[in-house]
Structure formats: structure tokens, C-alpha cells
Amino acid sequence: MENSAVYLDNQWAWWHKLLFRFACIYIVLYTTIWTWIGDLPLFSLIGEYYGKTENWLVTAANDYIFHVKDELVPLNGSGDTSYGYAQLCFFLLVAVVGTVIWTIFDKRKEYNTGYYWLIVLVRYYVAMMALGYGIIKLFGLQMIFPSLSALATPLGDLLPMRFSWYFIGYSTPYQFFSGAVEVVAGLLLLFRRTSTLGAFVAASVFLNVMMLNLCYDIPVKLFSIHLFLFSSFLLIADARRLLNFFVFNKSTQPLPQIVLPKQWMRRSKVVLKIAFFILFLVFPLIRSYQGWSSSQQASTTPKLTTGFFSVDQSQGTAVDSLRWKDIVFEPTNTGSIHTADTLFRQRYHRAYFSYSFDTLKHTIDFKRSSMDTTALFTMQYVMPDTNHIELRGKIRNDSVAMTLRRENRRFQLAEKQFHWLSEANR
């Protein structure tokens, strides 16, 4: 039978061994398999101390070697922070040094078994990520439909990332489709017989994700590049067979598999696969469904104050100098104001806030975010009718009064138009 992968050979070329050693060290560092089940008590403790140790090492390496930035910004909503790049440099350095040391002390001729298990590790890592991101897309929870505040923001004020987010969030069917493809890729990767097809699907999906991140300046570039490279890495094991079939028009044979020698190993493998299904397929499906159900309930709950309001009249120095032109109350107890007032969170030339009503006292608490426990200010409200709100209170110790008038703003984008027949370019 023709050897179809590196790990089937009895003696590897020297450069094959070097690449394997480097890839093994780097992939193990990057995937951090011991943190996959960090929600469990013991593993959460291991993950906590590992994270602290890695943070110290990355920071020290940056201070003395890399100098990415004097003060590293930790990973947050962005995966491309200065810490992310310092971490990348640290992983590469450790992989290079580790490869040199490994090469000096290890003289074996092949790493067939090690390469097999490295492929398994990468398969399950890519599957875990594909399932995680795919499932939340199935329920439309990753990219949401543009809110009233977003619809009221001029297109030219949006940054490329937000523009791309709304582009996907606008179409629920498209987001469902993209999520379904990711879920299919994840499921295919979990079985050896379908792993090659799964790697093909995953590489295609994550190539598209990588290009979106690169072309729309979405700050998950490093992560998406890794997912694409890992998916491509899985195809390397079948490279010769795939080339024979697709390019050289030659026959090819099934890829032989390593069979675990002991029964307890085979049983453990089945148990671990079942646990993987529960942790990374069943639980995410349940959590995503609960999140979707809560969002549906919140969006369908009628609120008299929800909507787009223009500011008809206003009194007070604080409002006159930083005039509120319009205000949006979202169903999710958040909103935005067309104002330059930096008392609020400024984003895309609108001021964002969180709010809560006290229907007994007829007051509205305005907060910077839903996480804040202290209000920026509180205003009394009166609703003469369903289309008007009168607000009175103090902002920066300045007495303020204003009248809000509900507007039935028509945003064509919110109408989700679709036409089979289009007589003109719209």
C-alpha cells in the first residue's frame, strides 16, 4: 500500500522531524487543552494558575526581548491587543527553543504515533471552535439585527467592523446558514471517517472568516488565521492522497489508522468523545436556546417608552451646550442620544446609556452601562399621552427640562425587503 501521510513512514526526513517538533510545541501551547473544561472546579484552578504563569512569562519576555509595547493591553473583546502579539511572539520563541533542545536529545527516526495524536488534538480543537461559533449563529446571537440606535447612525460614522457585523446580523437566514456550515464542519471533524471532509469544510469556512476579519479590520485576525491554518494542517495528513485524486488522476487508498492496543483505552476514548459532545454540543445548544428565548421575550414585550423620540423643547445649560437632538429607548433597557456629551459612552457620534424605570416614583435612572450600580443622573418623567414624554431633573447639578416627541421613523433597512423580480438596481 502506498504511504499517504508523513506519519505512515518508518523513517522521517530530518526536516519533517523539525517541523513536527516545532508544530507540536506551538500547537500544544496555543490550544492549551488543559483549559478546555475550565468550568470544572479542579480544572478551573489549574487554568487560573496557568493563566497567571503565562501572563507573567509573556510580560517578562516582552519587557526584555520583544518590546511590542511598553504597557501591554490584555486580551479583551479584541484578540489583537498588544498582549496578543506578545503572546504570539512568546509561543514562537518557546517553540523554536524547544525544537532545538528536542532535536539535540531525541534521536528517534519517526513520530508516527505522536503525529497521529497531534492530528486528533487539532481536530477536536477546530471542532470545538466551529461548534461554539456555529451554534450561537444558529440562534442569531453573535451578530444581532441593527438596533434603532444603529439605524439612526449615519453609515459614514460606522467603523468597518461594526459595518460588517450589521451586514451579517441584518439577515437572520444568512447568519443561520453560516452557522450551520460551521456546525457541520465541527460534527464531521469528530469522526475519523469524515474528518477529511470536515477539514475541507472547516478550511473553507475559516478562510472566509479570516478574510472578513482582515478586510473589515475585525480584531480577531490572529485567532481566525490560526483556525484557518489548523484546518489546513489537518489536510496535510491526506496531502498525497488528495493530490493523487484531485490533481494527478491516480488511484488512492484509505488512510490506515492507529488502533488503541488496550480495551480500557478504547473505552476511555468513547467516554471522552461522549463528554466532548455533552460539553461542546449539547450544553452550548441549551445555553443558546435559552439566550434566544430570553431575547425573543424581551423584544416582544411592549413598552410605552420604547422607540425613537425627537427633543422638541429643552431648558438648561447642560442641554443647551450639549444639545440632545434625539433619543432612542431600546426594548433591551439600553439607548442612545444624538449628542456630543461625554458624560455618556460615546460611540459612532452617539452617546450610549442604560436605563431603568421606577413606575411608582415616575423616575428614569440613566447609567453608562447595565453593569453600573450607580446612576449618572435621575429624571422625573410624565407621559401626557403615548407620543410624548416630559423629563425633569438635574444633569451635572444643572436643572434640565425637556419634551420628547415620538417619531415613527421609517428605516428601509429594518423592513427586510426581498424581491425575486427587480425591475431596476435598487
Q: How confident is the model at residue 86 (pLDDT cuts 50, 70, 90)?
A: very high
Which of 141, 195, 144 has its CA nearest to residue 168? Answer: 144
pLDDT score at 161: 94
pLDDT score at 3: 39
Give kind and range of the element (H or E) at residue 405.
Answer: strand 398-407
pLDDT score at 331: 87
pLDDT average, residue stretch 35-54: 80
Long-range contacts of 406-412 (CB under 8 A, 24+ apart): 406/307, 406/308, 406/309, 407/307, 407/308, 407/309, 407/310, 407/326, 408/308, 409/148, 409/151, 409/152, 409/308, 411/151, 411/152
Whether 341 contacts 357, CB under 8 Å: no
pLDDT score at 320: 63
Q: What secondary structure letter does DSSP report for 74?
A: P
Residue 8 has pLDDT above 70, yes or no: no
Whether 74 contacts 66, CB under 8 Å: no
Q: How confident is the model at residue 226 (pLDDT cuts 50, 70, 90)?
A: very high
Tell me the per-residue pLDDT of 90-132, one tens digit each, with 9 for 90 and over.
999 999 999 999 999 998 999 988 998 999 999 999 999 999 9
Domain map of the chain by residue range?
6-295, 307-408
Which residues make Cβ contacts (< 8 Å) with residue 163, sequence separation at least 6? 155, 216
Q: 3-class SS at 316?
A: coil
Mean pLDDT of the chain: 89
Q: Which range among 199-203, 248-252, 259-263, 381-385 has the greatest average pLDDT?
A: 199-203
Cα angle 387-393-398, degrees, rounded to a multiple of 5:
130
CA distance 353 to 303: 17
Q: How confident is the model at residue 300 (pLDDT cuts 50, 70, 90)?
A: low
Neighbouring C-beta atoms of residue 64, cutoff 10 Å: 8
> Which fold is adopted by the domain 307-408?
Lipocalin (2.40.128)
Which of 339, 175, 197 has its CA nearest to residue 255? Answer: 197
CA distance 243 to 94: 33
Which of 262, 240, 271 has its CA nearest to residue 253? Answer: 240
More confident residue, 320 or 140: 140
Residue 2 has pLDDT above 50, yes or no: no
Whether 210 contacts 79, CB under 8 Å: no
Q: How confident is the model at residue 68 (pLDDT cuts 50, 70, 90)?
A: very high
More confident residue, 174 or 317: 174
Q: For residue 84, what is its C-alpha cell?
A: 496578543
Whether 390 contacts 381, CB under 8 Å: yes
Whether 34 contacts 53, CB under 8 Å: no
Q: What is the maximum alpha-carbon separation in the chain?
A: 87
pLDDT average, residue stretch 145-152: 93
Tell me what percent of the residues of the chain surpass a pLDDT of 90: 63
pLDDT score at 87: 97
pLDDT score at 1: 33
pLDDT score at 298: 65
Q: How confident is the model at residue 4 (pLDDT cuts 50, 70, 90)?
A: very low
pLDDT average, residue stretch 82-91: 97
pLDDT average, residue stretch 243-249: 89
Tell me the per-residue pLDDT of 204-224, one tens digit each, with 9 for 90 and over.
999 999 999 999 999 999 999
pLDDT average, residue stretch 324-330: 92
